[in-house]
């Protein structure tokens, strides 16, 4: 497992390597730290996936629940090109779960169940139905 200091510094090393300033050893360290750090999210995401499935069952909502870990190449790209001052330990989207439901009523039932079950452990909740975060494209079929 990488040290906290290694995780913090990997973004700087990635950017240095991109400028041609790093060594082969730096590249190996970056590879190892990102792989190890990313792997730490695997179990919590699996646990969260199963919890969301249980919550959907409890709410009697049909939901397609999926999970993902950000690819190593995408992590590197984000550190290099999109968030040029970001350190890996502050990257908030390394992993995630998604529940797709067929309608807004089912979505609200699922959200209510999760909030009810988790109570004060829900620290933050974004409502992208009420306030979309970007352009929304709808298709009528």
What would the DSSP string read from start to end of 53-71?
HHHHHHTT--EEEEEEE--
* CA dist., res. 57 & res. 70, Å (int): 27
Report the C-alpha gap between 59 and 110 in whole angstroms.
6
- Tokens representing residue 40 in the block: 């730490």
- The confidence score (pLDDT) of residue 141 equals 42
| Length of the chain (residues) | 141
Q: Are 8 and 87 in contact (CB under 8 A)?
A: yes
- Per-residue confidence band for 130, with pLDDT thresholds at 50, 70 and 90: confident
The H or E element that residue 98 is part of is: strand 95-101
Average pLDDT, the chain: 87
Assess whether pLDDT exceeds 70 at residue 4. Answer: yes
Confidence category of residue 134, pLDDT binned at 50, 70, 90: low
Nearest to 99 by CA among 111, 90, 88: 111
Strands of 15-104 (E only): list them.
63-69, 95-101
| Torsion angle, alpha carbons of 40, 41, 42, 46, to 10 | 140
Q: Report the C-alpha gap between 40 and 25 in whole angstroms.
A: 23
Q: Report whether 88 contacts 7 (CB < 8 A).
A: yes
Q: 31-46, pLDDT tens digit by residue?
A: 999 999 999 999 999 9
pTM of full prediction above 0.85 = no
Average pLDDT of the segment spanning 40-56: 94
pLDDT value for 36: 94
C-alpha to C-alpha distance for 114 and 110, rounded to whole angstroms:
6
């Amino acid at each position: 497992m990488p040290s906290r200091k290694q995780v913090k510094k990997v973004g700087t090393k990635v950017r240095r390597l991109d400028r041609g300033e790093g060594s082969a050893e730096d590249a190996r360290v970056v590879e190892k730290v990102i792989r190890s750090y990313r792997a730490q999210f695997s179990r919590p995401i699996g646990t969260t996936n199963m919890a969301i499935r249980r919550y959907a069952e409890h709410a009697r909502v049909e939901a397609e629940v999926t999970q993902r870990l950000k690819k190593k190449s995408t992590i590197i790209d984000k550190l290099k090109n999109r968030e040029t001052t970001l350190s890996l330990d502050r990257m908030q989207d390394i992993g995630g779960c998604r529940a797709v439901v067929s309608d807004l009523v089912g979505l609200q039932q699922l959200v209510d169940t999760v909030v009810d079950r988790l109570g004060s452990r829900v620290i933050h909740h974004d409502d992208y139905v009420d306030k979309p975060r970007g352009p929304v494209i709808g298709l009528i079929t």
